[in-house]
Amino acid sequence: MKTYPLCLVGLETQRVIIIGGGSVAARKAASLVEAGACPLVISPDLHSDLQNLLDHAEIHHLPRTYQPGDLAESFLVISATDDAGVNHQVWQEARAAGCLINIVDDPPHCNFILPAVVRRGELTLSVSTGGGSPALARRLRERLETEFGLEYGELAAILDELRPDLIASYPPADRLEVALRLVDGPLLEILHRDGVAAARAYAENELKGNTDK
């Protein structure tokens, strides 16, 4: 399956729906909450992990089975039930409404698929096999989790903080080269050894030093 990778933003302002209340739905809900969404879960019952999210007001719950019309004004829908008839109804309604729709474990009835994801703060690393082998995607994700520790999230945060200075200080033609010098230099080592404050100070000095040359 050919795919076009992208990252959705602004889910906190969108209507997001999960059909189903089991363990798979719980995993999908947790990842959506982490991305800023507050999904509505439509299911008579909730897995304990979903109940925990509900108790912390991180999801909404409609305690009944799916009914036609439930997807009105929705932006993104995930159907995670074990009822093929329900999943087919959800697919048809979502397609008619123009929603983003994922029927779990049914790639032909999806217009988006979910990669295996590693999050390190605002840094997101993802692996997709186009829906062909979730097991392979999982194993590759586990390797990424080992290779890229929490310090990479802190590194991304520092570079994000300094981006306005980079843009203000350098013409467009020079920005990538300067940014790559920071990324390829000892910044990560300083972060790991001396902490965030020392790494930020080093990066600030490097940016200033380049403008003085």
Query: Per-residue confidence at 212, pLDDT binned at 50, 70, 90?
Result: low
Residue 127 makes CB contacts below 8 A (sequence gap 6+) with 115, 116, 117, 137, 140, 141, 144
Asked if the structure places residue 58 within a domain, the reply is yes
Judge if 108 and 162 occupy the same domain: no
- Give the confidence band of 124 by pLDDT, cuts at 50, 70, 90: very high
Bridge partners, 117 (sequence order): 126
Which of residues 114, 141, 163 is at a domain's end? Answer: 114
- The pair of structure tokens assigned to 199 is 């790494």
Q: Please determine, for residue 213, whether its predicted confidence score (pLDDT) is greater than 60.
A: no
Say if residue 1's pLDDT is above 90.
no
Q: Over 60: is that where the pLDDT of 88 sits?
A: yes
CATH number of 68's domain: 3.40.50.720
pLDDT at residue 3, as a whole number? 87
Any domain includes 49: yes
pTM of the model: 0.84
User: Could you identify the residue written with the tokens 């990778």?
Assistant: 5
Same domain, 101 and 155: no
Same domain for 109 and 175, yes or no, is no
pLDDT at residue 17 above 70? yes
Judge whether 122 lies within some domain.
no
- 180 assigned to some structural domain: yes
* Residue position matching structure tokens 């033609």: 173
| Res. 211: pLDDT tops 70 | no
Q: Are residues 97 and 18 in the same domain?
A: yes
What average pLDDT does the chain have? Answer: 94
Q: How far is CA 25 from CA 18, 31, 51, 157, 183, in A?
A: 7, 10, 11, 31, 38
Domain membership of residue 126 (yes or no) is: no
Domain region containing 65? 11-114
On whether both 86 and 171 belong to a single domain, the answer is: no
